[in-house]
């Protein structure tokens, strides 16, 4: 742990990130939108490295939402190819860091090659016990709750009576704690159907920095800001 990390307390256990602004970054630099997405994917790897310097156990990135299917088909296909390339290029490095990858969302509906890439990443890193990296791909918060209800209904050993703790085990994030800190870049101030259940008592941190430009100092600023919050969870 670096000296700065030792001085930022308390730290969140689970960080969720909405890496927004890739398209605007590309436009700002006179590049096609896909170039912005490519730079955003590269920055995700850099951010994994930065965050791994802290004793933070869970990080979940919003990659592709159920609403993103409304984007132009060439952009969607380009995004899928970028993710497959990311897995091919970075999976071994992530595994060497003892990071466990968790897919958050629906695999059904994604291209077969992308499903295989995601499944390969999850399988290879399943026994790692370092940081858990959640990747929300083909994810929607409302869809997650609907899927959880379906799982609960079909479970012959469902708990009775049902409470919040037992219901949360049916979510995509059933083995992960709720989100402590949600970070969203590019000056967008909304949840966008992201981890609706898990962010009920999260601290939110919004920044106008575009995701490809969000760097080590920016994550440090977010963690410092979080450490100064007084989390009451409904108390006085």
Q: What is the CATH number of the domain that holds 58?
A: 3.40.1180.10
Answer for the pair 81, 114: CB distance below 8 angstroms, yes or no: no
Residue 149 lies in a domain: yes
What pLDDT sits at residue 232?
Answer: 78
Residue given tokens 């006085």 in the structure block? 236
pLDDT(127) > 80 = yes
Q: What is the pLDDT of residues 173-226, one digit of tens each?
A: 999 999 999 999 999 999 999 999 999 999 999 999 999 999 999 999 999 999
| Beta bridge pairs of residue 62 | 136
Residue given tokens 């989390």 in the structure block? 231
Cβ-in-10-Å burial (0-12, 13-18, 19+) of 144 comes to buried
20 is catalytic: yes
Neighbours of 90 (CB within 10 A): 16
CA distances from 138 to 18, 62, 65, 109 (A): 14, 9, 5, 8
Residue 232 lies in a domain: no
Q: What is the pLDDT of residues 114-124, one digit of tens each?
A: 999 999 999 99
What pLDDT sits at residue 140?
Answer: 98
Token digits for 65? Answer: 């939402």
Residue 236 lies in a domain: no
Host domain of residue 17 = 3-227
Q: Looking at 2, 7, 68, 128, which residue is catalytic?
A: 68
Residue 7 lies in a domain: yes
230 falls in which pLDDT band (50, 70, 90)? confident
68 is catalytic: yes
pLDDT(97) > 60 = yes
CA distances from 18 to 5, 123, 134, 174 (A): 22, 25, 12, 20
Q: What is the pLDDT of residues 38-64, one digit of tens each?
A: 999 999 999 999 999 999 999 999 999
Where do runs of H (alpha helix) occur along the chain?
A: 3-6, 22-28, 33-51, 73-96, 112-124, 141-154, 164-168, 216-227
Token digits for 176? Answer: 């992960």
- Lowest mean pLDDT: which of 29-33, 82-86, 177-181, 229-233? 229-233
Q: Looking at 2, 7, 20, 95, which residue is catalytic?
A: 20
Q: How many domains, in total, are found in the chain?
A: 1
231 falls in which pLDDT band (50, 70, 90)? confident
């Amino acid at each position: 742990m670096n000296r700065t990390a030792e001085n930022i307390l308390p730290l969140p256990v689970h960080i969720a990130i909405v890496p927004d602004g890739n398209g605007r970054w590309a436009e700002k630099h006179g590049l096609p939108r896909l170039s912005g997405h490519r730079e955003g994917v590269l920055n995700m790897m850099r951010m994994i490295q930065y965050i791994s310097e802290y004793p933070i156990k869970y990080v979940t990135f919003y990659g592709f939402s159920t609403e993103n299917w409304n984007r132009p088909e060439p952009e969607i296909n380009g995004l899928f190819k970028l993710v497959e390339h990311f897995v091919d290029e970075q999976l071994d490095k992530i595994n060497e860091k003892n990071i466990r990858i968790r897919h958050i969302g629906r695999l059904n509906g994604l291209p077969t090659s992308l499903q295989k890439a995601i499944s390969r990443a999850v399988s290879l890193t399943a026994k790692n016990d370092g940081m858990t990296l959640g990747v929300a791909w083909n994810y929607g918060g409302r869809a997650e709750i609907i899927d959880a209800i379906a799982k609960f209904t079909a479970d012959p050993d469902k708990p009775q009576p049902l409470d919040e703790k037992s219901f949360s085990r049916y979510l995509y994030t059933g083995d992960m704690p709720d989100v402590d800190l949600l970070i969203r870049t590019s000056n967008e101030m909304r949840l966008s159907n992201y981890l609706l259940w898990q962010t009920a008592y999260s601290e939110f941190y919004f920044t106008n920095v575009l995701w490809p430009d969000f760097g080590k100092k920016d994550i440090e600023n977010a963690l410092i800001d979080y450490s100064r919050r007084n989390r009451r969870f409904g108390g006085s």
